[in-house]
Structure 1
């Protein structure tokens, strides 16, 4: 039996490749172009799953055999049972991730489908703060920072043009001979709506790097 192994950002890759293949089949008349896109699709999926085993690879490689609109629609849906959800969190668990924030605004956790979450993010308009929770090496990490709305822009996590804000967090990393009042802030443009970002994100390299920099953890 195949256990859940598909993370949200990887599932987005599957949906993206399935849609690309469907559009190619429907709009491109050159059979060589169609064949090129069809043959590259499984390689794109396997690139997103470097640790996939034999049975998992078989599931992913089925994308090259899709032909009809119904098959393109059904393929991503058929893999939903293999989604590995983000850890479901309680309000108490969230509070422990932000111990210095005594008035932490908790999002409505009952509305979250954790299968489609790469990171949990929300804003507190009253304090101009943005909160982010991510699982790094099996450990949940909470990051709190200032956000400054910037209208439309490219999100550094999902690389899509969306409504973004400049998210600035203070890193815990310190040079060896830094003074006691030393601090360094890291800023990046991030989607204001984390739900949209989670629907777009296909790679967690930038997210991993950002979280490591903020918590002062080496790669």
Structure 2
């Protein structure tokens, strides 16, 4: 049996290409054009992965084989059985990641759809602080910082989509002195679920986490 090998951001790529294919199927009748679009969609999906086994490639290539819209979406939905979920994490584990946050308000982890989560994040509305938990290089890491609503839409640096933005500002250690800090800022989504739903690449997220952890 094929084991899970798809991460949430890669599933988002598949969904994005399926949506593009559906739109093309509804507006284009030329079979040659459709065949080209199908091949392009599969190539974009495969490019989101590293090395693939023949079985994994065959599963992803099925994206190009469906004619009916409901069959194509059913195929994407069935891929959930091959998705690697976000690691199970307890409130105690989360608390340990933020030792300085004495009154940390951890969200109800049981209500979070770990299957469709690339990074765990929540905003403490009372303090306007954004908390992020991410499995970086095999270890759960946590970063926190002030998030200021911008009250406008713009380009989120993590998911690369046009969303309602906040400015996320994280204090980072600068140099050898424990009292010497600098700040790292980025424009990110205010909507926790939307960012996880849209993210198709973790490069920017991991780069930010790496910089914030210094």
Question: Gapped runs of 5+ residues in structure 2?
Answer: none
The superposition leaves residues 64-103 of structure 1 with CA deviations (integer Å, 9 ceiling, x where unpaired) of 1121112211110121100100012111111011011110
The answer as to whether partners of 1:13 and 1:45 remain within 8 angstroms in 2 is yes
SS of the counterpart of 1:110?
Answer: helix
After the TM superposition, which parts of structure 1 deviate over 2 Å for at least 4 consecutive aligned residues? 29-33, 178-182
1:149 aligns with 2:149: yes
Displacement, 1:160?
1.2
1:109-141 CA deviation, whole Å, 9 max, x = no partner? 121110000001111111121101111111100
Q: 1:57 to 1:197 in 2, by over 3 A?
A: same
Number of the residue aligned with 2:75: 75
How many angstroms does 1:163 deviate by? 1.4
Q: Does 1:99 align with 2:99?
A: yes
State the partner residue of 1:197.
Answer: 195
What's the TM-score once normalised by structure 2's chain length? 0.95
Counterpart Cα distance in 2 of 1:12 and 1:179? 42
Query: 1:171 aligned to 2:172?
Result: yes
Aligned residues: 213
For 2:142 and 2:179, locate their aligned partners in 1 and report how far apart those are by CA, in whole Å.
23
Indicate the SS of the match to 1:52. coil
Structure 1: distance between partners of 2:80 and 2:177? 51
Structure 1 residue runs without a partner (length 5+): none
Deviation at 1:179, TM superposition (A): 5.5
Instruction: Provide the alpha-carbon RMSD of the alignment.
Output: 1.4
Alignment of 1:33-112 (within 5 A): 33-112=33-112
Against the structure 1 CA distance between its residues 46 and 182, is the aligned structure 2 distance closer, same or farther, given a 3 Å change threshold?
same
